[in-house]
Amino acid sequence: MPTVLVRPTSSDPTRGRVVVTGGAGFLGSHLCTELLDRGAEVVCLDSFLTGSPANVAHLMDRRGFRLVRCDVTDFVHVPGPVDLVLHFASPASPVDYLQLPIETLKVGSIGTGHALGLAKEKGARFVLASTSEVYGDPQVHPQTEDYWGHVNPVGPRGVYDEAKRYGEALTTAYRTTHGVDTAIVRIFNTYGPRMRPHDGRAIPTFIRQALAGEPLTVAGDGSQTRSVCYVDDLVRGILGLAACGHPGPMNIGNPTELTVRQIAEDVIAATGSRAGITFVDRPVDDPEVRRPDTTLAARELGWSPDVPWADGLDRTVRWFAQAASVSA
């Protein structure tokens, strides 16, 4: 078995030449911005299946940024040296992966293989964007990285859950078999500017409804919990993992737990909406609880979230309001 590469602490790939797959998506675009701010050169690859060139329009004139339309399930070729591959290409919201089940499975399997092949070819560090969804509807709370999860592989959410679980296995195999310097980050619920109003996730849905004067649709009785992390905090954690030699899996998310009803009520307060809440049926396999144990990230990276929920929500509401006024 080949020796597994561990990047020296003096070498920070987040300041080198970085390939970001899915770079025109919500998280990918924020990663591209922060990488450029750190002085990195960024090659952003995106098929625009769920991402949008508008998410990176503000970067097009920045030195060191290149946007390439590319479907990673077809082929991935990047000329020149690469120090870091951040693999974030995938539909990530329930609306997307329920409408695009085959595409979700392909990008998690074939696309991950192509991105790992690029990292192997270039001798680059590789970071897989995995998800808290690998824990399914968890029977262990909070969720630690050594928990194997409780996932329904044939349920409607299974295409996303299993694509990510397969991606983790493939990433691990490339590390142990080929010596590729890999890491796995398990991302918990994240919110912030540039989320799509109709992507189906709770926070953008609630904000869109509140700004439109519509009742907020809360699934079930709203007692199910989520732990929501502002995007700036998440990006800082991801790049902290990328910059060190730790292989993961590593949870990155805010360990503060909120009920879905509380999130809705806070959105109502932040927007001044008078429309109230209406309750709808819970989706199939909707997790009852979700909260990361972030002990590993705190110990290895010195990471913890900085942005309080109220502040992050205010920033997000203001962005949505501005975007709605521009499109009106």
pLDDT mean by block of 10 residues, the chain; 328 residues? 38 96 98 98 97 97 97 95 98 90 97 98 98 94 96 92 97 98 98 93 95 95 95 98 96 96 97 94 87 97 97 98 77
- Let me know: does 306 contact 233? Beta carbons within 8 Å: yes
Task: Determine the pLDDT at residue 8.
Answer: 39
Q: How far apart are the first and last CA of the chain?
A: 59
φ and ψ at residue 292, rounded to 5 degrees? -80, 145
Q: Which two tokens stand for residue 80?
A: 């020149």
Q: CATH 3.90.25.10 occupies which residues in the chain? A: 202-224+257-288+308-323
Q: CATH 3.40.50.720 occupies which residues in the chain? A: 13-191+229-254+297-301
Q: What global pTM score does this model have?
A: 0.94
166: exposed, middle or buried (Cβ count in 10 Å: 0-12, 13-18, 19+):
middle
Our separate counts of H helices and E strands in the chain read 10, 13
Residues 6+ apart with CB under 8 A from 179: 2, 3, 4, 5
Exposure pattern of 65-94 as b/e (b: 16+ CB <10 Å)? bebeebbbbeebebeeebbbbbbbbbbbbb
Q: Which CATH architecture has domain 13-191+229-254+297-301?
A: 3-Layer(aba) Sandwich (3.40)
Task: Determine the pLDDT at residue 10.
Answer: 44
202-224+257-288+308-323 belongs to which homologous superfamily? UDP-galactose 4-epimerase, domain 1 (3.90.25.10)
Q: Is 8 left (phi over 0), alpha (psi -120 to 50) or beta?
A: beta
- Let me know: does 109 contact 87? Beta carbons within 8 Å: no
Check 97, 135, 160, 230 and give the catalytic one: 160
Verify whether residue 135 is a known catalytic residue: no
- Let me know: does 191 contact 266? Beta carbons within 8 Å: no
- The C-alpha torsion from 87 through 93 and 96 to 97, rounded to 10°, is 70
